[in-house]
């Protein structure tokens, strides 16, 4: 594992953001090698008595003392999973580069203590896992490698979730609502009941994934209106509160300082809004379409059949299945690509894509599923896990105004970082787009591409049931289908 001299200064790392599983810090020190990089660290359950909680180093040291020496999460292969497995499917250019680095425990302990007061209340049930020996250095995708002091970079993070309505013939008739309402829209009602959200989101992923520019634009407006955990805004790497006003002010290249200070200073008027530029980028880039089609094609059997396979294969004593290895995931992706023409898949209309997809499975719901060979059952469970990764990733789109000459695609390379093992360098591909006669540079990257666990399959099944049952109980089958306008 690489050790990088000069990286382990706690005071040089600032809290950036966190999800359920990882916490991310951005570099704010003087070393130019780490400018525009972030550090991604795994979290673990807070395993100490809450009465003793002091949100400081005692707490973290307790964790360090009680936890086993080897972290229960072996994350060392996760960077390879993202680049090799997801890279095969999505295209390597869209997958964020992660560099695995060694983590001294004292560094983690001090880091955890220093950022604790900055963390949101809702995430405090977990802490940085101070037993992890490996973390990841990545590019800060809210900014460009080459900063332009005159043109601020505006970044939007979208967690698009499930971009398809399942047409799987394996879905039981009584669960047919899944063919009309998307999982995100149905899940909103469950989240409301559970107190996870206070109001329903106006966003529907089916519109975002539609590739129709006006629907994409409408769904971006909906995300701004109800961002939940699906939309974040950054200006020069600083996270901003999402609001219509902030978005209107962040007309790319407008008076950014006033947005950062959240003032309502008079805006410079531009004909083009950030939403328009984003809609163009999302409709133009193949990423979103590829993501949606892959999510659907890799989930051809739906969790209902996947769970049946899981039950048929699971060891009755341990009631589990071994987690797939990296090699097994690679083989699964390769076998999927053998039966799928990725280029054709991108060009086909929805109906043809679904028909091809169904035909390529090799068996149907009318067949005796007990007779499907075990190896094939395992294969489809792993495909389903790949789909789960793609259903939970986020997309970062970073934009800045540019001159006409700068909108040709180009690659920027960060100065090499010398580790004790080798030199590593980060790269980014910068594209250009012209909207309403104004030129912009952008990059688009997928983050959070961790492998999902096979042990979660029964939980996925339970969640599916809970979401559908609750939706049918409170709404029924009376709303218009998602995607029908
Ligand atoms: O099942 P979902 O759709 O709720 O997804 C979970 C996410 O909830 P969301 O609905 O996006 O708010 C959830 O996000 P939040 O914690 O709600 O922000 C995680 O991303 C979770 O992944 P993991 O278990 O940490 O690997 C996600 O779990 P997976 O289903 O991806 O395993
Ligand atoms: N390379 C990056 N550049 C900039 N910001 C990043 C980067 N990676 C992560 N982040 C920020 O940190 C947040 C948490 O990271 P990440 O999505 O990997 O966590 P997670 O726990 O896996 O998320 P989830 O709960 O969705 O599974 C992201 O939502 C994003 O705002």
SS3 letters across 280-292:
HHHHHCCHHHHHH
Residue 218: its pLDDT value, please?
95
Q: Which residue has the tokens 């892959």?
A: 294
Residue 252: its pLDDT value, please?
52
Q: Which residue has the tokens 């789960």?
A: 388
Q: What is the pLDDT of residues 420-463, one digit of tens each?
A: 777 888 999 999 999 999 999 999 999 999 999 999 999 999 99
Q: How far is the CA of 12 from the centre of ligand 1 (A)?
A: 30
Residue 29: its pLDDT value, please?
94
Q: How far is the CA of 159 from the centre of ligand 2 (A)?
A: 10
Name the H helices within 181-321: 183-193, 205-208, 213-225, 244-249, 256-260, 274-284, 287-297, 302-313
> What is the number of the ligand closest to the CA of 190?
1
Ligand 1 neighbourhood includes 196 CB (under 6 angstroms): no
Helices (H) and strands (E) in the chain, counts: 17, 15
Q: Per DSSP, what are the bridge partners of residue 127? A: 44
Domain boundaries, the chain: 10-139
The residue among 412, 442, 465 whose CA lies nearest residue 280 is 442
Helix, strand, coil abundance in the chain, percent, nearest 5:
40, 20, 40
Name the H helices within 285-404: 287-297, 302-313, 326-338, 342-347, 350-359, 374-391
Q: How far is the CA of 37 from the centre of ligand 1 (A)?
A: 25
**Nearest atom in ligand 1 to 391's CA:** 31
**Nearest atom in ligand 2 to 447's CA:** 8
> What is the number of the ligand closest to the CA of 95?
2
Residue 407: its pLDDT value, please?
83
Q: How wide is the angle at C-alpha 82 spanned by C-alphas 124 and 97, nearest 5°?
A: 85
**Nearest atom in ligand 2 to 450's CA:** 22
Residue 33: its pLDDT value, please?
86
Question: Which residues does a 6 A CB cutoff place in the pocket of ligand 2?
Answer: 16-22, 24, 38, 40, 96, 138-142, 157, 232, 392, 394, 447-448
Q: Which residue has the tokens 């992660």?
A: 98
Q: Per DSSP, what are the bridge partners of residue 413? A: 427
Encoded tokens for 419 = 């580790």
The residue among 400, 463, 476, 384 whose CA lies nearest residue 432 is 400
Residue 374: its pLDDT value, please?
96
Predicted-assembly ipTM surpassing the 0.95 threshold: yes
State the Cα–Cα distance between residues 205 and 184, nearest whole angstrom: 7
Q: Which residue has the tokens 């600032």?
A: 14
State the Cα–Cα distance between residues 128 and 22, nearest whole angstrom: 8
Q: How far is the CA of 326 from the centre of ligand 2 (A)?
A: 22
Q: How far is the CA of 392 from the centre of ligand 1 (A)?
A: 6
Residues 423 and 120: beta-carbon distance below 8 Å: no
Count CB-CB contacts under 10 A for residue 444: 22
**Nearest atom in ligand 1 to 183's CA:** 3
Residues 76 and 100: beta-carbon distance below 8 Å: yes
Ligand 1 neighbourhood includes 19 CB (under 6 angstroms): yes
Tell me yes or no: is domain 10-139 CATH 3.90.1300.10.
no
| Residues in the chain where the model's pLDDT stays below 70 | 48-76, 251-271
The preferred substitution site among 17, 75, 157 for testing ligand 2, maximizing ligand atoms within 8 Å of CB, is 17
Residues 11 and 115: beta-carbon distance below 8 Å: no
> What is the number of the ligand closest to the CA of 464?
1
Please, is 234 exposed, middle or buried when counting C-beta atoms within 10 Å of its C-beta (0-12, 13-18, 19+)? buried
């Amino acid at each position: 594992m690489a050790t990088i001299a000069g990286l382990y200064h706690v005071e040089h790392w600032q809290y950036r953001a966190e999800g359920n599983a990882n916490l991310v810090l951005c570099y704010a020190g003087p070393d130019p090698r780490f400018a525009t990089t972030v550090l991604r660290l795994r979290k673990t359950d807070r395993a100490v008595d809450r009465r003793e909680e002091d949100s400081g180093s005692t707490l973290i040291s307790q964790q360090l003392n009680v936890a086993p020496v080897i972290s229960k999460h072996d994350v060392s292969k996760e960077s390879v999973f993202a680049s090799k497995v997801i890279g095969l499917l999505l295209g390597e250019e869209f997958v964020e580069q992660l560099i695995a680095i060694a983590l001294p425990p004292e560094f983690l302990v001090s880091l955890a203590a220093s950022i604790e007061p900055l963390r949101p209340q809702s995430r405090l049930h977990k802490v940085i896992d101070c037993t992890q020996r490996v973390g990841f250095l990545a590019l800060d995708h809210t900014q460009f490698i080459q900063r332009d002091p005159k043109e601020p970079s505006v970044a939007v993070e979208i967690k698009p979730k499930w971009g398809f309505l399942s047409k799987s013939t394996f879905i039981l008739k009584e669960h047919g609502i899944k063919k009309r309402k998307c999982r995100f829209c149905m899940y909103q009602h469950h989240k409301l009941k559970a107190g996870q959200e206070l109001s329903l989101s106006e966003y529907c992923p089916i519109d975002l994934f539609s590739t129709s520019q006006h629907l994409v634009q409408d769904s971006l407006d909906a995300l701004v209106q109800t961002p939940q955990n699906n939309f974040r805004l950054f200006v020069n790497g600083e996270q901003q509160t999402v609001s219509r006003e902030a978005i209107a002010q962040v007309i790319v290249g407008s008076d950014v300082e006033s947005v950062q200070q959240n003032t309502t200073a008079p805006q410079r008027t531009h004909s083009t809004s950030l939403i328009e530029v984003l809609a163009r980028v999302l409709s133009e880039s193949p990423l979103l379409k590829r993501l949606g089609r892959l999510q659907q094609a890799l989930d051809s059997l739906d969790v209902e059949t996947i769970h049946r396979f899981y039950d048929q294969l699971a060891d009755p004593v341990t009631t589990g299945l071994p987690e797939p290895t990296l090699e097994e995931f690679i083989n699964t992706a390769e076998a999927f690509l053998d039966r799928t023409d990725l280029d054709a898949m991108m060009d086909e209309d929805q109906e043809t894509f679904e028909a091809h997809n169904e035909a390529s499975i090799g068996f149907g719901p009318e067949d005796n599923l007990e007779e499907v060979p075990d190896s094939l059952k395992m294969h489809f469970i792993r495909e389903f896990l790949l789909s789960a990764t793609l259903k939970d990733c986020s997309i970062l789109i970073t934009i800045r105004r540019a001159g006409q000459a700068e909108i040709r695609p180009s690659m920027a390379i960060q100065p090499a970082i010398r580790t004790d093992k080798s030199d590593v360098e980060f790269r980014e591909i910068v594209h250009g787009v012209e909207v309403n006669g104004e030129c912009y540079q952008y990059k688009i990257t997928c983050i959070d591409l961790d492998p999902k666990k096979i042990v979660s399959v029964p939980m996925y099944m339970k969640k599916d049931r809970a979401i559908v049952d609750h939706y049918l109980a409170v709404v029924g089958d009376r709303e218009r289908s998602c995607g029908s306008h």
